Structure 1
Amino acid sequence: MTFQQELSSWFSTSAPVGVQVPAIDSKAPETTLSLHSGEPTVIAFLRHCGCPFAEKTFLNLREVAKSHKDIDFVAVSHSSEDATNTWLRSLPQAGSEPSNLRVVIDEKVEIYGAWGLGSSSYTHVLSPWSMYEVWRLGREQGIWNRPTESGSRWQTSGYFAVDADGVVRWGGAGKRADDIPEFEEAVRAVDAVATAQAKL
């Protein structure tokens, strides 16, 4: 990782967006992100690899995936494949990902854009609250900034749960850079749909 790579993350462009973030109870966008037919899916669109909030999000996603093997979990990274793999190897308990968790590379941010996730604002990334949360996450959980080899710090994150029929049942765009979702809520959302359908 070079200083130039780190600096470029502040100037890299985010996904161009011409669509809205999918609404709850709407069909999931059709993209190159394949959803396993007949299985509910929980998707996390990460901020850049190296971001402490992206790390905490991925670690949470990994733990929830271990407890719910009947659900497909996907982490989408817009950092390059090499940078993403380097970052994954640097995380605690690297290699412990369950078989129902996969990482998808979207370096051209086409999938992000199709889900309505584009460039964030200055206050989204650098608000006093987000800066405080960086410090708190590091102090309390030992999760600090890691080297950023590629990706944009301005890319908006997002989190969604899609049921077995391809309908969005939970989630939305990250409200701030430090927005870390509760993935058990995503599981409950798709489980509720499956339970209701089973009673019909």
Structure 2
Amino acid sequence: MSFSQEFSSWFAPKGPPIAQVPVPGTPAPKTPKLTLRPQTPTILAFLRHCGCPFAEKTFLNLRETAQSHQNLDFLAISHSSPQATETWLKSLPQAGSEPSNLRVIVDEELEAYAAWGLGTAGFAHVLSPAGLYGVWALGKAEGIWNRPTESGSRWQVSGAFGVDGEGIVRWGGAAGRADERFDFEEGVRVVESGVGAAKL
């Protein structure tokens, strides 16, 4: 990791035009970058850049939920480069313990992010006092701090969604702030019931 790589993470991401965020009750967006298995409920987590403590917490929570629900698919989508994503994954606690129903998809071109309505964040989303306090609080409570950022943008909005076996979005939305947490167990309950819930 070089200074220039770390510095470049502060530039806004450049990707395709941003679609509307899908709301519960609407069909899941389709893109070649991200395909869902037919007849299989799926939980998706679009991560912030690899190195972000909130991306790490999100991935660890997603992995734990996937381990407990082997009948569902779980997708973690990274917009960092393949090499940076792999390096980051190997640096996480209990690396290699991902269950077979959890896949990591690299979307460096932001094709899937854009299709799911996840674009560039505003200043308050990334650098609000509450969000910055969240960085310290997460590190203090769980030892999850910033890791080196080799690629990706700090301004990329994250999000989480739950899609039922018929391909209908039932849960989730875009993160309102960089430090927002996602309740994946709630997402599982919603997609398994087939009844849409409110947006995040």
TM bin, normalised by shorter chain, reads: over 0.9
Closer, same or farther: CA 14–132 of 1 in aligned 2, 3 Å: farther
Could you list the runs of 4 or more consecutive aligned residues of structure 1 that deviate by over 6 angstroms after TM superposition? none
Tell me the SS of whatever aligns to 1:104: strand
Aligned length: 194
Is the Cα–Cα contact under 8 Å of residues 15 and 119 in structure 1 kept in the other structure?
A: no
Once the two structures are TM-superposed, the CA of residue 17 in structure 1 deviates from its matched residue by 3.4
Aligned to 1:21: 21
1:126 maps onto 2:127 in alignment:
yes
Tell me if 1:89 matches 2:69: no
Structure 1 residue 107 corresponds to structure 2 residue 102: no
Q: What is the CA deviation profile of residues 107-145 of structure 1, one whole-angstrom value per residue up to 9, with x for unaligned ones? A: 000110000100000100000000000000000000000
Shift in Å, 1:23: 1.1
What's the % identity of the aligned pairs? 63
- Give the equivalent residue in structure 2 for 1:9: 9
Counterparts in 2 of 1:14 and 1:153: CA distance versus 1, 3 Å: farther
Amino acid at match of 1:55: E
Shift in Å at residue 14 of structure 1?
A: 4.3
Q: Would the aligned equivalents of 1:47 and 1:77 in 2 still touch at CA under 8 Å?
A: yes
CA distance in 1, matches of 2:14, 2:189: 31
Runs of 5+ unmatched residues, structure 1:
195-200
Unaligned runs of 5+ residues in structure 2 are 196-200
Check whether the contact 2:18–2:119 (CA below 8 A) recurs between aligned residues.
no
The residue number in structure 1 matching 2:55 is 54
What is the CA–CA distance in structure 1 between the aligned matches of 2:69 and 2:14, rounded to whole Å? Answer: 32
TM-superposition CA deviations, 1:62-105 (whole Å, max 9, x none): 00000000000000000000000000000000000000000000
2:137 is matched by which residue type in structure 1?
R
Instruction: State TM-score, norm by structure 2.
Output: 0.95
- Closer/same/farther in 2, CA of residues 26 and 40 from structure 1, 3 Å limit: same
Matched, 1:163 2:157: no
Q: What do the CA deviations read for 1:139-193 (whole angstroms, capped 9, x no partner)? A: 0000000000000100000100000000000000001000110100100001111
TM-score scaled by length of structure 1 = 0.95
Give, in whole Å, the separation in 1 of the partners of 2:17 and 2:177: 18
**Is residue 12–residue 156 contact of structure 2 (8 Å, CA) maintained in 1?**
no
Q: Is the 8 A contact 1:157 1:173 kept in 2?
A: yes
Backbone CA RMSD of aligned residues: 1.0
Report the alpha carbon displacement of residue 13 of structure 1 after superposing the two structures with TM.
1.7
Secondary structure (helix, strand or coil) at the match of 2:194 reads helix
> What SS does the aligned partner of 1:172 have?
strand
1:186 maps to amino acid: G
CA-to-aligned-CA distance 1:7-59 (integer Å, 9 cap, x gap): 00001424443421001100000112010111000000000000000000000
The 5 Å alignment of 1:119-158 reads 119-158=120-159
Following the alignment from structure 1 to structure 2, what is the Cα–Cα distance between the partners of residues 18 and 132? 29
The aligned counterpart of 2:198 is none
